[in-house]
Structure 1
Amino acid sequence: MYLVVIAWTYVALMMAVAEANHPNGTLLGAVFTFLLYGVGPVALVIYLMGRPARRAARERREAAAAAASGEPDGGGEAPADPVPPVRKEP
């Protein structure tokens, strides 16, 4: 994945250099070319491709927090008896 990111950044950089060196080109146009064709799409791709890793890390943190609390449900109350005990008449 990082090879594609490096290659696309290189292509966007070369486009910006060509924009800056063209007789009708400007330095501001080169900066916007690099930002809009290079940095923006690369940042979006890295963010989207990193989603599974972020999800796995979040699940590991939640599992570690649940294990550290010592309670299976994570609640703060003692478990209640679902059926109250019936007392026999003397």
Structure 2
Amino acid sequence: MYLVAIAWLYVVLMMAVAEATNTNGTVLGAIFTFLLYGLGPLALVVYIMGTPGRKKALKARESADLEAQKAAAAASSTEPAGSGEATAEPVAPMREEA
């Protein structure tokens, strides 16, 4: 994908150089040619083509966070280990009065 992007930028750069060196062309026209034919559309295409990779990275990050939360919850369980043992909580929860 990056090879096509580099090739497109090269073509647009050559178009801009031709615009700037032409007798009827201007440097401002060359800059707009490069921006509007090159960088603008290329940025849009690269962003759209990178969407599946970003989604995959987001899912991987979310699943890693979920696994870390599960591991942390399993390691710091507040349930008693057996009968007659106190919980690991430092303060007993307060009862709500109805």
Into which bin does the TM-score normalised by the smaller protein fall?
0.7 to 0.9
SS of the residue 2:13 aligns to: helix
Q: Residues 12-70 of structure 1: CA distance to partner in whole angstroms, max 9, x if unpaired?
A: 00000000011111111100000000111111111111111100000011101111111
Deviation, structure 1 residue 6: 1.0
Equivalent pairs counted in the alignment come to: 71
Unaligned runs of 5+ in 2: 72-98
Query: Which structure is higher in RCO with an 8 Å CA cutoff and minimum separation 6?
Result: 1
Q: What is the letter of the counterpart of residue 44 of structure 1?
A: L
Partner of 2:18: 18
| Root mean square deviation of aligned Cα | 1.1
Provide TM-score, normalisation by structure 1. Answer: 0.75
Partner of 1:66: 66
Please give the alpha-carbon distance, in whole angstroms, between the structure 2 residues aligned to 1:24 and 1:14: 16
The 4+ residue runs of structure 1 with deviation greater than 6 A are none
